[in-house]
Amino acid sequence: MTDPFADVSPWDKPAESAPETPVVNTATAPHVPGATHMNPFKIGLTFKAGASFDAEWITPTIYGSTADETARRTVEMMHALRQHGVIDLATNAAEYTRQQFKGSTTKAGAAAPKRFVGGKVQPTTDAEHQGETDCPHGRTHVAKGTWEAYFCNADERAGEKKCPAAFLNKKSGRFEIKG
């Protein structure tokens, strides 16, 4: 093999030399099985605290060597999360973090984020009232381009009738149902 740092042009004719004998590595690397080798079955769970994307998520992944083992481990995981209060602790930690946040990701005068409990918008106090955003089915906030609205979460497949959407009135800064 030629020295890449030698003071010789790569286009010069190489000097005749004995051919190099290739080095053969006879030692093999030990096989270290990964999680998918030992436990080929996997279940990923997502526990969301609310209907919107700003709600906290817990996303455990469970592995097992058989489908039955993975299913049993999944049930054990869900019971352990409840027994040890992991879901409540994650919710409280997320709420604390939101309260500590000093910056702003919204435009000046934009509406404050809604509070969700059990997938439903919670009633606001007079100090934080944003207009007509309450609904017995809960609402989902949607903001696209130049408009924002809260849409009813009623399940029409189950025969529930959706409530009218509440759109942001940019003049008042409050959500109103157009009628």
Q: Average pLDDT in the 144-171 region?
A: 87
Residues 6+ apart with CB under 8 A from 38: 65
pLDDT of 108 > 50? The answer is: no
Q: Is the pLDDT of residue 24 over 50?
A: yes
Q: What pTM was computed for the model?
A: 0.36
Calculate what percentage of the chain has a pLDDT beyond 90. 7
Question: pLDDT digit string (tens) for 40-70?
Answer: 889 988 887 777 777 778 888 999 999 999 9
Average pLDDT for residues 143-155, to the nearest whole number? 87
Q: Would you say 46 and 60 are in contact if contact means Cβ atoms under 8 Å apart? A: no
What is the chain's mean pLDDT, rounded? 75
Q: What is the pLDDT at residue 71? A: 92
Helix 86-100 / helix 67-83 crossing angle, nearest 10 deg: 60
Residue-level length of the chain: 179
Per the structure block, which two tokens stand in for 167?
Answer: 């759109």
154 vs 102, residue with greater confidence: 154
Query: Cα separations (Å) of 126 from 12, 89, 130, 131?
Result: 86, 29, 9, 10
| Rg for the chain, CA atoms, rounded | 30
Question: How many whole angstroms separate alpha carbon 2 and alpha carbon 124?
Answer: 77
Asked if residue 77 has pLDDT above 50, the reply is yes
Residue 52 near residue 29, CB atoms below 8 Å: no
- d(Cα 93, Cα 58) in Å, to the nearest integer? 12
What is the predicted pLDDT for the residue at 73?
92
Q: Which residue in this structure is represented by tokens 């040890």?
A: 84
